[in-house]
Amino acid sequence: MERMDQSAEAQLQVRFVTKQETYAVPDVPFSVPQNIDTSRLNKLLNELLRENAELLKPTEFDFLVLGQLLRVPLIEHLQEFNESIEATVEIEYVQRTPAPEPEDALLHDDWISGIQVADKWVLTGCYDQTINIWTTRGKHQVSAREHTNIVKAVCWLKQGDPSGGFVTVSHDLTGIIWKWEPSEEQPKPVTVLRGHERGIDAVGVSSNSERLATGGWDTYLKLWSASLDVEDCYEPFHKKIRGVQGKATIARTPLHTLKGHKESIVAIQWSESDTICTASMDHTLKLWDAELCGLRNEVVAEKAFLGASWSPLSRTIITCSADRHIRLYDPRSTEGSVCKTLFTSHTLWVSAVTWSQHNEHLFMSGSYDECVKLWDTRCPRAPLYDLSGHEGKVLCVDWSNPKHLVSGGTDNSVHIFKNRQFN
């Protein structure tokens, strides 16, 4: 047996394992102090790596014990799980997620209520009825005002491809589908979505970009064609829209209207091409069959939902509610509660959450406490990082582009943080 510490401290036997072959060390047990923490584990592991792999510079690692990231001394972690200290402890190590770097702040004229990134383009919707497009480097590209009330949510029609157009929804009871090419100065409103009876709060586009769904204060979930082809529209809408040189545009009616919620729909996520997840202030998550237009499943919670995000990687849902907590749900679960994890660090209501698109464990959150936080699902006790900068409530967050974490809020600014894993 190899021994890594010759002090008189009480010892534990551990075995280091990793899925990152570049950083593999001998698969043999070592003796370490019972109260060893992540700092000392990093020092010891880097000593081993220098001996066996001749790495040129130290690497920062995180350590997984019993499925959760180690954030306290090892002995305390084991005691929390009522784990025996007699057996050899398996410690999995992974390269640490680096802290995102503040990159830019995009100043608007009013609160930012909707945001999404495609490639290098940041699309925002604002309380001053405008939509704006910026580059991730901070250059303002486009501003347009076609809505007559708050623009509550925005969404690119093709993930990662701005030339596929985008959709915006508003408290003026309408949605608008827009055409835009990055080479063009102004986007063109192609179709007005008419059918809601009250303000629209949420929009989501299917993974194949063929359909979209909207929901809001009338409690209805409405499905629409997402086509940019006006032949898929109905009923000429004769009101002249500003910015289209007096041309009449076309109104599109919904393909289907799904009823079931009792309060406003605040978030819409397509989990599959035929499945939609909605979160509502009526304390429910609902999973809908978009083909059969019926309800598949329902999750009832204790609080009103304010936001939700579906991960295609982990196939789970994170939600935020009218309290300080973030919850992770697994709707497929058949054992115990479908709420699997509670994340608590914010001090006021959590208003927005979104999954990483490149890592099944990472997500970000924004809150009325003016904080944006980066989380790892394997560390529910605390976030990985607090991302500071906002001086008002955070209303929306997005991580559609793996390179950039973005957030917007009542300080009239969008903050861009660079993910240093993608240089």
Residues 342-379: pLDDT tens digits? 999 999 999 999 999 999 999 999 999 999 999 999 99
Maximal C-alpha separation, the chain: 85
CA atoms lying within 13 Å on the CB side of residue 3: 7
CA-closest candidate to residue 378, choices 15, 19, 60, 97: 97
In which region does residue 89 sit, left (phi positive, over 0), alpha (psi from -120 to 50) or beta (all else)?
beta
pLDDT at 231: 59
Per-residue pLDDT, 233:
52
For the chain, give every residue range classified as CATH 3.10.20.90: 2-95
CATH number for the region 2-95 comes to: 3.10.20.90
CA nearest to 75, candidates 34, 40, 33, 44: 34
Which whole-number Å values give the CA distances from 177 to 5, 169, 197, in the listed order? 64, 9, 19
| Class at the top of the CATH hierarchy for domain 101-418 | mainly beta
Q: Where in the chain is the domain with CATH 2.130.10.10?
A: 101-418
Spatial separation of the C-alpha atoms in residues 124 and 113, rounded to whole Å? 8
The predicted structure's pLDDT at residue 243: 37
What's the rounded Cα separation, in Å, for the pair 106 and 126? 13
Q: How far apart are the first and last CA of the chain?
A: 41
Rounded to whole angstroms, the Cα distance separating 371 from 409 reads 10
Question: What pLDDT is stored for residue 256 in this prediction?
Answer: 97
pLDDT tens digit at each of 423 positions of the chain: 344 444 457 899 999 999 998 899 888 999 999 999 999 999 999 999 888 666 668 899 999 999 999 999 999 999 999 998 889 999 999 999 999 999 999 999 999 999 999 999 999 999 999 999 999 999 999 999 999 999 999 999 998 888 899 999 999 999 999 999 988 889 999 999 999 999 999 999 999 999 999 999 999 999 999 999 875 554 444 344 443 333 446 899 999 999 999 999 999 999 888 999 999 999 999 999 999 999 999 999 999 999 999 999 999 999 999 899 999 999 887 777 789 999 999 999 999 999 999 999 999 999 999 999 999 999 998 999 999 999 999 999 999 999 999 999 999 999 999 998 876
- CA distance readout (Å), 6 to 3, 11, 30, 33, 165: 7, 10, 12, 9, 64
